[in-house]
Amino acid sequence: MRLDKYLTICNIGSRKEVKTLIKDKKVKVNHVVQINYDFDVNEKIDQIEVNDICISYKEYYYYLLNKPKGYICATSDSHQKTIMELFSDLNQHLVDKLFPVGRLDMDTEGMIIVTNDGMFSHQLTSPNHHVKKVYLVEYDKKLPDDAKVQLAKQIVLKDGTIYQPSYIEIIDENHAYLTITEGQFHQVKRLICYLGANVTYLKRIRIGNLTLPNHLETGKYYELNEKELLKLLEKE
């Protein structure tokens, strides 16, 4: 792999910026200053340093964000705050490559995955993979006694929208856990409305078998490890 490409993938800067670093003799390969930006490096063996700091090769990044209300799940927007603004402490070159996996409504809180891995995003969001998403739901009135039975079947709304079976666990008269395997527009809110109530608070607390950590404050994020990534894709 070319040295400038390696540094760009490692989010040291843009291709132009890393070429300048190389030209200014700020880059070493195996402890030797390298001034050729097209120098061939082995990302698995060679040790690369920028300003005497060792750089680890990493192509993909995965973060779990505890999304707050008031932010939209988009990479940019001219009118609304986006969740990407919450990653301002990261290298801007990396942030520009990241995107949210799926979406949560502006007034919804909780788990959202942010990555630069398109294949992983597809695995997590495709209905064909049946990845479960669990929500804590608050609503304004008691649900019918047969709510669990109703949601256990395929539901067809008046506008023709079809929802696959879901699972609801009633906590009390105004709270429940709702599990879905799709992610259609306003799905949770519309399912609760189908049952005769209106959602007053919504928070996603689990994806696959990975649960939102209790210690992760709203608006904060952390980088996922390999074990946690596997949990996200688990179906049981």
Which residues are annotated as catalytic? 105
Q: Phi first, then psi: what are they for 124, rounded to 5°?
A: -80, -30
CA–CA gap between residue 126 and residue 196 (Å, rounded)? 29
Q: Give yes or no for a contact between 30 and 43, defined as CB atoms under 8 angstroms apart.
A: no
C-alpha dist (Å) from residue 221 to 31, 184, 215? 34, 25, 11
Question: Strand pairing of 133-139 and 175-180?
Answer: antiparallel
End-to-end CA distance of the chain: 39
CA–CA gap between residue 188 and residue 166 (Å, rounded)? 10
**3-class SS shares of the chain: helix, strand, coil, % to 5:** 25, 30, 45
C-alpha dist (Å) from residue 51 to 2, 23, 33, 36, 48? 19, 13, 10, 16, 10
CA–CA gap between residue 58 and residue 224 (Å, rounded)? 13
CA–CA gap between residue 207 and residue 104 (Å, rounded)? 13
CA–CA gap between residue 36 and residue 46 (Å, rounded)? 15
